[in-house]
Amino acid sequence: FHTRLCDILDIKYPIIQGGMAWVATAELAAAVSEAGGLGIIAAGNAPADIVKNEIQKAKKMTKKPFGVNVMLLSPFIEEVMQVVYEEKIAVITTGAGNPGKYMPKLRAIGTKIIPVVPSVALAKRMEKLGADAVIVEGTEAGGHIGELTTMVLVPQVANEVSIPVIAAGGIADGRGFLGAISLGAEGVQIGTRFICAEEGTVHENYKEKIIKAGDRDAIISARTTGHPVRVLRNKLSREFARLEKEGALPNELEELGLGKLRLAVVEGDMEEGSIMAGQIASLVKEIMPCKAIIEEIMMDAKMQLEIVNRLSKEE
């Protein structure tokens, strides 16, 4: 499966690892890039020096290309963008906002830009502003999400833009990969499955929660804040829902949510922490090295394609 994305990003497989805050560290990004995908370091809500340190760590771990994900709601966005410029990052992905204001400078220094978009309108706007590709993320994804599903959004964006479309949300194996290609995508972004990567520095409790998740455990929380997030249900999500029902104010709720993702990822607190994960969590059953994850996805996609070809030949 060699697509335009492989040429644009100089990667062997059109698989991007999601730039998940606290999860996407240099260790994970380097392992994914070494395995032939595109590893991504998450800036999340971290200050510039933390982001710079992770980038320099990754540069020591791999000579292959990797990217940085910039979360546009971060209070440190301006100083983090300065680090992105200085470090001559090959490619950035962006989330939770419109990166338009940074695109002229990024294009001028040759950094590729791949924004995550939750709608056709934003995808078209990003193409017009010069994005190199778009990550079309369905509501199946973990973390901060839009409303439309991958199945519905990917073909519509593919109809409207000519830059490569990368499908994200609900993809964790070869069937999901082939499904995305069938919908018009030229690559996939995978988050939840890489949370359970062996090289990842995520607390074991978090990885175990993903492996134990059932098909209906990844629910949407914090809708009333205007920033809905998909998490695995736990004590915090139940508490959050109760407060929302009682009409707590958005800033009270935002306050309650602060630091909770770190609590889950770093401390492994599965009750008070925010366990961000996508609906595909229930398909993830094993902690595996990144190389094994990527090669299994590509192998399964080829096998699934042979099944599809056989079915299409039968009368």
Ligand X SMILES: O=C(O)COc1ccc(-c2c[nH]c(CNC(=O)Nc3ncc(Sc4ccccn4)s3)n2)cc1
Interface with ligand X (CB under 6 A): 21, 71, 73, 95-98, 116-118, 122, 137, 143-146, 227, 229, 276
Secondary structure letter of residue 146 according to DSSP: -
- Half-sphere exposure of residue 288: CA atoms within 13 angstroms, side-chain side: 18
**Beta strand 134-137 pairing with 218-221:** unpaired
Rg (CA), the chain: 18
Least distance CB 101 / ligand X (angstroms): 11
**Tokens matching residue 99:** 């990166």
Give the nearer residue to ligand X in terms of CB position, either 58 or 229.
Answer: 229
Least distance CB 311 / ligand X (angstroms): 34
Give the nearer residue to ligand X in terms of CB position, either 101 or 238.
Answer: 101
Give the nearer residue to ligand X in terms of CB position, either 149 or 304.
Answer: 149
Give the nearer residue to ligand X in terms of CB position, either 74 or 282.
Answer: 74
Least distance CB 304 / ligand X (angstroms): 27
Q: Read off φ and ψ for residue 196, nearest 5 degrees.
A: -95, 25
Residues 6+ positions from 157 with CB-CB distance below 8 Å? 117, 120, 123, 134, 136, 165, 184
| Cα 270 to Cα 182: distance, rounded to the nearest angstrom | 37
Least distance CB 302 / ligand X (angstroms): 29
Give the nearer residue to ligand X in terms of CB position, either 117 or 294.
Answer: 117
Q: How many CB atoms lie within 10 A of CB 157?
A: 26
**Tokens matching residue 150:** 């991958």
Least distance CB 296 / ligand X (angstroms): 25
Secondary structure letter of residue 162 according to DSSP: S
Least distance CB 144 / ligand X (angstroms): 3
Q: Read off φ and ψ for residue 168, nearest 5 degrees.
A: -140, 145
Give the nearer residue to ligand X in terms of CB position, either 137 or 140.
Answer: 137
Token look-up 């020591």 returns 60
Least distance CB 137 / ligand X (angstroms): 5
| Cα 312 to Cα 256: distance, rounded to the nearest angstrom | 52
**Beta strand 15-17 pairing with 39-42:** unpaired
Least distance CB 96 / ligand X (angstroms): 4
CB 262 within 8 A of CB 22: yes
Least distance CB 312 / ligand X (angstroms): 34
CB 297 within 8 A of CB 179: no
Give the nearer residue to ligand X in terms of CB position, either 45 or 111.
Answer: 45
Token look-up 């294009």 returns 107
Give the nearer residue to ligand X in terms of CB position, either 54 or 137.
Answer: 137
Token look-up 């010069």 returns 130
Give the nearer residue to ligand X in terms of CB position, either 36 or 176.
Answer: 176
